[in-house]
Every structure is written in structure tokens, then in C-alpha cells.
């Protein structure tokens, strides 16, 4: 007799045939429908027992039952693809420039988390809604640096799984649709509004916030114009290398993203016309686009001084010489990594040797972030999470000065109404003056 079993809201049918147990999943259906399907299995098995139906040679009993006893010839063998095979194929196909390096790195992180849920040998053709929901539930119960994983992060991971599913479907690795309809996520909290440093400090001083909640507040920080000036003065005084000050000044006075700054070439800077060509990666998925940003008089002078001592090379913020904590420009090379490295410290040191001359090359994102944090360490400004705070601040100063939204979008490369709303925040003093002017 066929029996029903439910797991995570998904029904499956169990039955015995010739002394062996068999099972197949029917998915998330109404209980009444599941009961009817189980009864139909009983009917088919009874007819087989009564010899009113015959299971043809080579036909799997599960497939025969699922076909309502109509399957006459064995179906052609279907090549099975594991999660590892689809994952590796997708990454290899997109590692040739189809997507940006940062995007591919994020994809690898998502696939690593998905692999922990599904396993490398998981057969992708069998992926069900329950499998995807299992990943969502596991990730939402996880923590990263003591903080819970947010629903938006998990949604992005599932979106990545959907992307590789679509890629696999076009290559015949899977045939059914990606099981996304009916997935359950918890409600998300609206992102905190952008706040000035004084607003955040008042909330912190008031007490009652956990360390994680305080960190979350500083993620919404933006600086006023006078604070930007003080911040840049600190950077100029404490920068350990000549390139740090002009790099951070450019971030603060153009609103360019960190990745965009690291791609700027010397020929992109035109001090005569007072413009900087920014090479974009986010505006279009089909082609590389650019935008022009006007230079402030202050930034023009800073970059003019930087060009006078530039170490050479095509990139505006490239550098030569030894770079601490860099894989490609540290003082030594030959460090072992991976599972095959020597077990003893002596064995690992045996391959290490001085690197020698280091050619000029653009900064990496990790090098830029490391120097940013080192320059601010121990100061009032160490709460700044990274370069993106300067982007928030640049946009805020323009908005507070009444600059047209279209001009702001042209400067910073916004492309959607959602992005515009996210950045459309004014300094509290400006809002107070607006209310005072309206109501006296």
C-alpha cells in the first residue's frame, strides 16, 4: 500500500514492489491531491499484481507508476550533472571577461555557501523547492562576525543559483524550471537613513546599543562639507605613502567608487578642461561605459601636485616598490598556500625568497582599503567603513546645495529610481531651514 510522507511542506509517495521500497517526490501540493495520487499508485500496483498490467523489461517501476502505467519503452539515459560540475563550468565560462572580476569573486562566495547546503555530488536535475528553502533556512540561522545573515544576502545567493540554473538549462544540463516560486523569506528591515557623524554619536552616547547596532549606524554615515575638509587634512598629515592623499581626495571630490578610482588612467585626467573620465562597470551589463566628472579647484591642485611626483605607468594611482600585505608586491615571494603546502614552519619558509624589483602597477582593492584604514586608525575618523562613505558625502553635499538630481546622477552614475531614493538625503540643518522658511 502506498503511503504519504511530508517534509518541509513537500509530499512524497512511498511504496513496495517485489520486496523493495521505492519513493518519489510529488512536491508542494494540496493534501487531497497527494492522497489521490497515492491512491492511483495503489491502483496501478494492484493491476500489476492481478496481471492486468505488465511492467515492460527495462522499465523502472517508479517511472512506470508515475506514467500511470503507460510507459512501454525505456527512456533514453539522461546524463546527470552534479552541483560541482555545473558550478565549475559556470565559473570557467565567465572567467574570460564575461563578467567583472569583482562580480565573479562574489559569485564564487555565493556558490561556496550553496555548496555547503547541497554538496558537490548533488544532482542538479533533482533540485526541488524544498532544497532551495533548506539553503535559505540554513543561511538565515547562520552568523557572520557575530551578526546574523540578512535576508537580502540570502536572496542574492538564491539569485546566483538561479543564474547558474539558467546557464545550465541553455546547455541541456537541466530541463525543468528553476524552483523559486513559493520560497519563504522573513521580512527585511528598511535600511537606516543616512546620518551625520553628530547624529550617530548622539545615539551611541545615549547608550543601549550593541556593538553590532553601533556598527550598523556607522554604515549609514556621511560627512558634512567642513568635516570632509577636516578629514582630508588628517589624511594629508598621516598618509604613509604619497599616493594615499590624492587617491582619497579624488574619492571625496568626485563621488567615484573605489573600483572606478583604481581604473583611472593618467590620460583620463584633463587638468586643462578640469574633467576626469571615469570608467564604469555598473551602468550597463552589455558594454563598458564612461562618464565625465568636473574637478573642483581644490582637487585640480592636489592632482597637479601628485602628477609632479608620480612614479610612472599608465594608471593615475599606480605605484611601484614594496607594498605591505600585498600578494604581488610584498617584500618576499614564494609563500606556500593550499592543501599541499609543507606541514612544518621550516618547510614553508624554505621556498620564501626576496622579491627583488617591483614594477609599477595599479593598486588592488584590498591594498586601497588597507591603506585607507591604516591612515585613519586611532583617530576620530576610524569609524569610516571605507571609500563609499565619501561617495555618500559627495552626493549629500551636492543635494544640500540644491544641485539638480539629473546633474548628481550624471556625476556619480546612478541609473535607477531606487538608487536615487537611497541617496536622496539632505543635511539636517538644511531640512530645518526649509521647515523654518515654510512655517516661520
Neighbours of 243 (CB within 10 A): 19
Helices (H), 95-210: 101-118, 129-140, 151-170, 197-206
Per-residue CA distances from 347 to 237, 331, 355 (Å): 42, 19, 19
Collapsing DSSP states into helix, strand and coil, what is residue 278?
A: strand
DSSP structural state of residue 241: S
pLDDT of residue 351: 84
pLDDT at 234: 98
CA atoms within 13 A on the CB side of 123: 6
d(CA 305, CA 131): 58
Q: Tell whether pTM > 0.85.
A: no
pLDDT digits (tens, 9 = 90+) for 16-43: 988 888 998 888 888 899 899 999 999 9
Pairing label, strands 143-144, 147-148? antiparallel
Average pLDDT over residues 225-240: 96
Q: Is the Cα dihedral 147, 150, 154, 160 positive or negative? A: negative
Opening angle at CA 191, ends 185 and 197, nearest 5: 155
For the stretch 299-338, pLDDT in tens is: 999 999 999 999 888 899 977 666 666 666 677 887 877 7
Residue 129 grid coordinates? 523547492
Complete domains list, the chain, with CATH: 3-66 (no CATH), 83-170 (1.10.150), 222-313+362-434 (1.10.443.10), 321-358 (no CATH)
Distances (CA, A) of 234 to 231, 248, 316: 5, 11, 22
pLDDT at 427: 56
Q: Give, to the nearest 10 degrees, the angle between helix 244-254 and helix 225-238.
A: 170
Q: Quick one: the chain helix, strand, coil %, rounded to 5? A: 50, 10, 40
Regarding beta strands 10-17 and 20-27, do their DSSP bridges make them parallel or antiparallel, or are they unpaired?
antiparallel
Amino acid at each position: 500500500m502506498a503511503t504519504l510522507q511530508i517534509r518541509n511542506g513537500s509530499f512524497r509517495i512511498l511504496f513496495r514492489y517485489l520486496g523493495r521500497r521505492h519513493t518519489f517526490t510529488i512536491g508542494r501540493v494540496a493534501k487531497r491531491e497527494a492522497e489521490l495520487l497515492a491512491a492511483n499508485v495503489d491502483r496501478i500496483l494492484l493491476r500489476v499484481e492481478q496481471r492486468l498490467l505488465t511492467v515492460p523489461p527495462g522499465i523502472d517501476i517508479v517511472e512506470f507508476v508515475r506514467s500511470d502505467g503507460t510507459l512501454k519503452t525505456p527512456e533514453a539515459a539522461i546524463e546527470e550533472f552534479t552541483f560541482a560540475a555545473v558550478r565549475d563550468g559556470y565559473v570557467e565560462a565567465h572567467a574570460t571577461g564575461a563578467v567583472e572580476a569583482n562580480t565573479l569573486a562574489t559569485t564564487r562566495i555565493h556558490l561556496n555557501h550553496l555548496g555547503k547546503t547541497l554538496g558537490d555530488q548533488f544532482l542538479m536535475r533533482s533540485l526541488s523547492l524544498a532544497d532551495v528553502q533548506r539553503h535559505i533556512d540554513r543561511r538565515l540561522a547562520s552568523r557572520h562576525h557575530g551578526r546574523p545573515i540578512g535576508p537580502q544576502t540570502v536572496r542574492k545567493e538564491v539569485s546566483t543559483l538561479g543564474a547558474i540554473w539558467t546557464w545550465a538549462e541553455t546547455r541541456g544540463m537541466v530541463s525543468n524550471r528553476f524552483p523559486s516560486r513559493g520560497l519563504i523569506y522573513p521580512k527585511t528591515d528598511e535600511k537606516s537613513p543616512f546620518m551625520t557623524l553628530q547624529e550617530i554619536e548622539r545615539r551611541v552616547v545615549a547608550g543601549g546599543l550593541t556593538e553590532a547596532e553601533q556598527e550598523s549606524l556607522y554604515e549609514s554615515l556621511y560627512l558634512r562639507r567642513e568635516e570632509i575638509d577636516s578629514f582630508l587634512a588628517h589624511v594629508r598629515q598621516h598618509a604613509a605613502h604619497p599616493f594615499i592623499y590624492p587617491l582619497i581626495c579624488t574619492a571625496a571630490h568626485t563621488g567615484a567608487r573605489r573600483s572606478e578610482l583604481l581604473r583611472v588612467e593618467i590620460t583620463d585626467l584633463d587638468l586643462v578642461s578640469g574633467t576626469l573620465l571615469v570608467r564604469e562597470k555598473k551602468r550597463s551589463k552589455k558594454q563598458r561605459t564612461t562618464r565625465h566628472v568636473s574637478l573642483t579647484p581644490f582637487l585640480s591642485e592636489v592632482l597637479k601636485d601628485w602628477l609632479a611626483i608620480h612614479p610612472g605607468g599608465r594608471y593615475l594611482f599606480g605605484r611601484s616598490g614594496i607594498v605591505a600585505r600585498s600578494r604581488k608586491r610584498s617584500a618576499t615571494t614564494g609563500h606556500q598556500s593550499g592543501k599541499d603546502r609543507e606541514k612544518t614552519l621550516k618547510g614553508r619558509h624554505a621556498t620564501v625568497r626576496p622579491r627583488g624589483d617591483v614594477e609599477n602597477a595599479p593598486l588592488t582593492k584590498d591594498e586601497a582599503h588597507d591603506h585607507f584604514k591604516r591612515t585613519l586608525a586611532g583617530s576620530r575618523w576610524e569609524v569610516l567603513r571605507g571609500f563609499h562613505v565619501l561617495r555618500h558625502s559627495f552626493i549629500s553635499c551636492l543635494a544640500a546645495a540644491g544641485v539638480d538630481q539629473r546633474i548628481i546622477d550624471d556625476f556619480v552614475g546612478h541609473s535607477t529610481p531606487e538608487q536615487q531614493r537611497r541617496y536622496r538625503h539632505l543635511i539636517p540643518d538644511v531640512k530645518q531651514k526649509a521647515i523654518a522658511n515654510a512655517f516661520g
